[in-house]
Structure 1
Amino acid sequence: MRTPARHAASAAAALLALSCLTACADDASTSTSAAGGGGKGEHVKIMVGGLDKVIYLPAMLTQRLGYFSAEGLDVELLSEPAGVQAETALVAGQVQGTVGFYDHTLDLQVKGKEVESVVQFSHAPGEVEVVSAKAAGSIRSPKDFKGKKLGVTGLGSSTDFLTKYLAVKNGVDVSEFTPVAVGAGQTFVSALQKGSIDAGMTTDPTVATLLRKRAGTVLVDMRTPEGSQAALGGPYPSSSLYMRTDWVNSHKDTVQKLVNAFVKTLRWMHTHSAAEIAAKMPADYSQGDEALYAEAIKDTLPMFTEDGVMPANGPETVEKVLRAFNPNIKNAEVDLARTYTTEFVQKAAG
């Protein structure tokens, strides 16, 4: 049992750590703004949970379309394949925003960190549970996850959250399977092919690559609102731009410019074909197969919103999913109203 003195010391240490994080964030804001001088516009750092993932496509596409610069911003996009690491960079003040899954805002709130989604890119996860060709006979539904090794991008990531929910929903306890952090892209493909995992959750273009190689088959497809409804029981807002609430409140003009740019991109995506979108992206994203990359974009496009607005009942679905298995949230009180704001998308639409 903690003594009062030890409890007080721990509280003081926690307060000091929080103060340091706040100072770091302020320093990052100052230094990046200074770095954006010389007529380039205000400099903002955004960490993306995998720049080449189709679910986060609006980040790079906005850059390529010139919408950031049109708003007077110099946006630096950084990539971290696992969303949980991207979240950590935001909390530590290394970046001003994160393009990642909305569900992190709930997880962080119960840990005492206030972050909020300022523009919602999607109303479905865009994730797919893929079973290896070797294990296809033994895994016919999430009910068969017991005793299996299941790939996720990182422990504590959104793919980890969703995998656990699919298991629990289908009668398999989280202790009855083994989550394995395998990242995305080629590391995921290799893990599935070598048998390091029996199945795993990933996104396009990795899904398209696996299907083309006949290395795996689709078990659960959550790339559409219908797929999200079937698997999760409702719309599941996933990819978004989320930021620290204190930074949002003290930099509203900058946030509005970012949201304006992203909403323009979402509208552009809904009036152009997958092939036209693919043509705007960096050449190396297609990995030498432009047709396959365009196909991957086409399969994932239904997940994206047209206006950046949080889908009705979306936050409630996310809370239900997280409460099913996440011990941090299961018995905690979550204020969903503090996990997102529509203030900026409403102005962008006006």
Structure 2
Amino acid sequence: MGRTAGEKIMNDINRRTVLKGMAAGGAGLMLGTMPVFAQSSNKLVFMEPYDMALEYLHEMNAIVGGHFEKEGLTVEIASIRNTSAAIQQVVTGQAFVSRVGLLDVFKASEAQTEPVFSVGTSLQHGIFSVVSREGDPIRTPEDFKGKLVGLASIGGGQENMLNLLLAGAGVPFEAVQRQAIGSNAGNVEILKAKRVDAFLATVETSLILKRNKEPVEIWPASKYAPLPGGVLLMTKKFATENPETAVKFVRAMRNSALEANTEDAGKILDRITAKFDLAANDDRDFRIAAIKAYNEMTFVNGTDNVMRNVPEVMKLSAELASKAKIVEVKDVDSLYTNEYFDKAIKA
């Protein structure tokens, strides 16, 4: 059986890392409809597109763990509950960065006149998994053919991911039925009742299903469509005019991620919850499990690539997005940079 797209990328990354080690020895909302957030020269606003959750572990820990402060940066996290609106806040200069999916960067580059790009990848893998019945599993994108798949909504992020999986496998979109069922752990009852053959789930939903020992099989969509789940979007204008800030920011985010992976997860959780009101399940064990899950997604391409835009991933992501007819990416190299990452790790 051939390797998946994700496995091929990991093989390329691992090969390059070994060689490197041998050589080196080591169209959103109108502005008037949105709240305006105050950003000044000495206070930077990090705009999240949704309510605070452990998905935003790195930036929260960068604040409470002192990583931004160590770099001389004063960063405030705000949220606006809408990806397009969050991007618009960055484009209009009300915020200096937002954490969004790579597809959002692709789409924004087409919709915005102000050029944007990714200065780093926070989550190397996406947040969606495929859930199917243990006795009747869907294990590959090809298995979706002729099936009914439950999605949070029609036309949203989960349907985009489904289309990416199908496009990568050459499965016609019309060969797969879709049904909007919302996004929560209760979807497993719809699955068990055979009202759908599979559904897409978030990290948190997948954790709940595993903890409840539900009779399901779960695999990450990134196994076949390895798009990053979180990248750091900036305008090229801001990064070009403030290169030192961009370098310090990426370095602080990387150091925060490294610490979150090596420090006791309970300690990380306690200092985050002391400052931030999380929207996630408030069970402590669940939250610790979520931190570990996001750490795995951060380090899946190796420690050297933590907070780095991996070129192979970017290229494949652009190809899949174009093939799935989500957005035609004409020049993916212009939509990300490792300039600030490279300078950050040299310092």
TM-score w.r.t. length of structure 2 = 0.72
Trace 1:180-329 onto structure 2 (pairs within 5 A): 187-194=183-190, 198-215=197-214, 217-222=216-221, 228=222, 230-232=223-225, 236-282=227-273, 284=278, 287-305=281-299, 306=303, 307-326=306-325, 328-329=327-328
Task: Please give the per-residue CA displacement for 1:193-242, whole angstroms capped at 9, x wherever unaligned.
Answer: 356865333332221112223456234225xxxxx4x423xx54331211
Q: Is the 8 A contact 2:131 2:218 kept in 1?
A: yes
Instruction: Kindly indicate whether the alpha-carbon contact (under 8 Å) linking 1:110 and 1:334 is maintained by their aligned counterparts in 2.
Output: no
Matches within 5 A, 1:59-138: 59-70=59-70, 71-78=72-79, 80=81, 83=83, 86-87=86-87, 90-91=90-91, 95-111=95-111, 113=113, 114-131=115-132, 137=136
4+ runs of 1 displaced by more than 6 Å?
Answer: none
* 1:343 and 2:344 matched: no
Which residue of 2 is the match for residue 32 of structure 1?
A: 38
CA distance in 2, matches of 1:85, 1:192: 32
| CA separation of 1:45 and 1:294: change in aligned 2, threshold 3 A | closer
Hey, what's the Cα distance between the residues in 1 that align with 2:292 and 2:73? 31
- Report the identity percentage: 19
Offset at residue 125 of structure 1 (A): 2.1
Paired AA for residue 337 in structure 1: D
- Cα 1:250–1:192 change in 2 (3 A) is farther
Q: 1:176 to 1:112 in 2, by over 3 A?
A: farther
Task: Please report how far the alpha carbon of residue 262 of structure 1 lies from its aligned counterpart in structure 2 after TM superposition.
Answer: 0.8
SS of the equivalent of 1:189 reads coil
Deviations 1:98-130 (CA, angstroms, capped at 9, x unpaired): 112223222332445521111222332243112
The structure showing larger relative contact order (alpha-carbon pairs under 8 Å, at least 6 residues apart) is: 2
> Superposed, which structure 2 residues align to 1:46-57 within 5 Å?
46-49=47-50, 51-54=52-55, 56-57=56-57
Deviation at 1:147, TM superposition (A): 4.4
Q: Is the 8 A contact 1:151 1:188 kept in 2?
A: no
Amino acid at match of 1:317: L
8 A contact 1:191–1:197 mirrored in 2: no
TM-score, length basis structure 1: 0.71
Number of the residue aligned with 1:9: none
Q: Distance in 1 between matches of 2:283 and 2:122?
A: 26
- Cα pair distance change 1:219/1:33, threshold 3 Å: closer
**Compared CA separation, residues 279 and 45, structure 1 to 2 (3 A):** closer
CA contact (8 A) 1:151 1:199 kept: no
Indicate how the Cα distance of structure 1 residues 49 and 198 shifts in structure 2: closer, same or farther if over 3 A, else same. farther
Count of residue pairs the alignment pairs up: 305
Give, in whole Å, the separation in 2 of the partners of 1:327 and 1:298. 31
Q: Match of 1:72, SS?
A: coil
How many angstroms apart in 1 are the aligned matches of 2:68 and 2:179?
Answer: 37
Letter in 2 for 1:128: S
In structure 2, the residue matched to 1:151 is 151
Once the 2 structures are TM-superposed, how far is the Cα of residue 86 of structure 1 from its aligned partner?
4.1
For 1:74 and 1:107, how far apart are their aligned partners in 2? 26
User: SS in structure 1 opposite 2:119?
Assistant: strand
Q: Which amino acid aligns with 1:269?
A: A
